[in-house]
Amino acid sequence: MPMDRSNQRASADDAPVDDDILDDVIYSISHDLRASIRAMRELPEWLKEDLAAQGVDLAGEPDELLGLMQDHARRLDAMLAGLLAYSRVGRLQEVVTVEPLDVFKQVVGALLPPEDTHFFCHFNAVPVRMGQADIAKIFEVILSNALTFGRNENGSRIEVTSCRSGEVWELMIADSGPGIPADKIEHVMKPMRRLSAKAEDPTAGMGLFVLDRIVRHYGGEVLIETRRRRGGCLVRVRLPVLV
């Protein structure tokens, strides 16, 4: 009996793609594209420097257009950085036992918060075991959002609590900004979604999307709310990664 090859093709097309393979593809493409995007960011500066050396001053519209090119390149780079982080969740990193306080200090040092940022921290001695890059990314995403969107006229007030809650590690970070409307929380957890202007978001709308994947990978949950009395956004992460 002749074989129905059209059904064979349909079955092959409908076959699920292995997550690891898909992550490898995302990682490879994003990694290679970032090199080109970095060149796009730097080329306008090189061009202006070369023209200035020849006595040509790019002012007005030409200079604005080059700046616009750099802005678009920066946003593309942020998107690709988010995709790279997404593809690395639970992979390509060392699994370590670490105190969350140590990770917090490292991330804050790298973020270089403004002088009008005030941290109020309570860390219990709660060692956790998970991917080194993943736990750093958890702090990076939440703190970066707090520093960017959680400001008011007095600067930033960021409250950080890390403790054991039953059999899970619980991390709570609250800021002093306007918060996120309850009906928009699901929206901002999706990729490349944002509530603010594109130029204001350093993660290109990828931060909370990556955070959610990390937490789900370790069997935890992310809860986001706007505090009623004190205001500000509260992000609560619960993970069963206690040592």
Range(s) of the domain holding residue 165: 95-239
CA–CA separation, 147 and 157 (whole Å): 9
Asked whether residue 184 is domain-assigned, the answer is yes
Q: For the chain, what is the domain count?
A: 2
Closest CA to 149 of 184, 122, 102: 184
Asked whether residue 6 is domain-assigned, the answer is no
What's the CATH code of the domain at 185? 3.30.565.10
233 within 8 A of 151, measured Cβ to Cβ: no
Amino acid 4: pLDDT = 52
Amino acid 53: pLDDT = 87
Amino acid 82: pLDDT = 86
Closest CA to 126 of 173, 175, 174, 167: 167
Closest CA to 160 of 104, 203, 208: 104
CA–CA separation, 29 and 27 (whole Å): 6
DSSP for residue 15: S
Q: Indicate whether 144 and 25 sit together in one domain.
A: no
Q: Indicate whether 114 and 228 sit together in one domain.
A: yes
DSSP for residue 200: G
**Can you say whether residue 197 is alpha, beta or left, with left for phi > 0 and alpha for psi between -120 and 50 degrees?**
beta
Q: Indicate whether 64 and 24 sit together in one domain.
A: yes
Q: Indicate whether 155 and 234 sit together in one domain.
A: yes
pTM: 0.79
* H helical segments located in the chain: 5-14, 19-53, 61-88, 100-111, 132-149, 185-188, 207-217
Consecutive 10-residue averages of pLDDT for the chain (243 residues): 46 52 76 83 86 84 87 86 88 92 97 95 95 96 93 91 95 94 89 66 78 95 90 95 90
Q: Indicate whether 79 and 131 sit together in one domain.
A: no
> Which two three-digit tokens encode residue 105?
């200090």
Place of tokens 């670490």: 98
125 within 8 A of 242, measured Cβ to Cβ: no
CA–CA separation, 41 and 85 (whole Å): 21
- Please give the C-alpha separations between residue 42 and each of 30, 47, 58, 196, in angstroms, as whole numbers: 18, 9, 16, 26
Closest CA to 97 of 123, 139, 121, 126: 126
Q: What share of the chain is helix, strand, coil (3-state, %, to 5)?
A: 50, 20, 30
Q: Indicate whether 70 and 124 sit together in one domain.
A: no
Asked whether residue 5 is domain-assigned, the answer is no
Closest CA to 85 of 158, 164, 144, 151: 144
Domain end position, chosen among 88, 117, 152:
88
